[in-house]
Structure 1
Amino acid sequence: MATIEECRSALERLSDNMATAEGDVREAAALDRSVSCHIKDLDVTFLGRLVGGRIEVRDTVQGPPPKKAEIRLAMTGDDLLAMVGGELAFAKAWGSGRVKLQASLIDLMRLTKLL
């Protein structure tokens, strides 16, 4: 099972990958939105902001998100590590229900470019 530190590190790697992306991916990552990522097996949530093409993790709280972020993710720590490590495709994980993504319809359409 992934640790909280490994999950935070994976979110930082994801942020780095997004910041260096080009074209449609860079455009999709350019949103300015609140973000939460609930790691279900650790029952911890990373709270932050997607801004300037990066995910800035600003806080870590125990349990589910205390308030509704504009972009909400939920998954296990192992799935987060596998996705960031390239071993699990986000589209496959999302389609199978292993990863939950909730956002406005417009944001979902933009975010699909990241998939």
Structure 2
Amino acid sequence: MANEQECRAALDRIAGRLAEVDAERLAEHVVERTISCRVPDLKLAFRTRIHAGGLDPFEPTDDPKGAQVRLTVASDDLVALADDDLNPARAWASGRLKIEASIFDLLRLRKLL
């Protein structure tokens, strides 16, 4: 099981990859949304905001359900996603990554992955 520090580093790597996306492409597919990432095996949750300018830093939160897009993933799977050892679509299809969002947000998110 990954620890809190490894999960924070994984989220930073994911945010860094998003920062590398072409600004025009990002603006085309992104609508401002709040995003939470819950890591149930560590009883942690983080929150950020995505917008046309990118992704704000992830911050700890006590209210992950208040976000418009809610991700739930085990600590080891989060690290594997950040390291490109786990494909997000496969993780979602197998239940290792749970995403709660509107259908429109899911479609936008799919285009960025």
Root-mean-square deviation (CA), in Å? 2.0
Confirm or deny: 8 A CA contact 1:24 1:113 kept in the other structure: no
Identity of aligned residues (%): 41
Alignment counterpart, residue 74 of structure 2, candidates 73, 76, 88: 76
Q: Which runs of 5+ in 1 are unaligned?
A: none
Alignment counterpart, residue 86 of structure 1, candidates 84, 106, 110: 84
**1:5 corresponds to:** 5
Deviation of 1:68 after TM superposition, in Å, equals: 2.2
Paired residues in the alignment total: 111
Confirm or deny: 8 A CA contact 1:40 1:75 kept in the other structure: yes
**1:42 corresponds to:** 42
Q: If each structure's helix is expressed as a fraction of its own residues, which one has the higher value?
A: 2
Return the letter of the residue paired with 1:89: N
CA distance in structure 1 between the aligned counterparts of 2:88 and 2:98, rounded to whole angstroms: 10
Aligned ranges for residues 1-115 of structure 1 at < 5 Å?
1-22=1-22, 26=26, 27-28=28-29, 30-51=30-51, 52-57=53-58, 59-61=59-61, 65=64, 67-115=65-113
TM-score w.r.t. structure 2 length? Answer: 0.87
CA distance in structure 1 between the aligned counterparts of 2:50 and 2:92, rounded to whole angstroms: 19
Q: Which runs of 5+ in 2 are unaligned?
A: none
CA distance in structure 1 between the aligned counterparts of 2:71 and 2:20, rounded to whole angstroms: 22
TM-score w.r.t. structure 1 length? Answer: 0.85
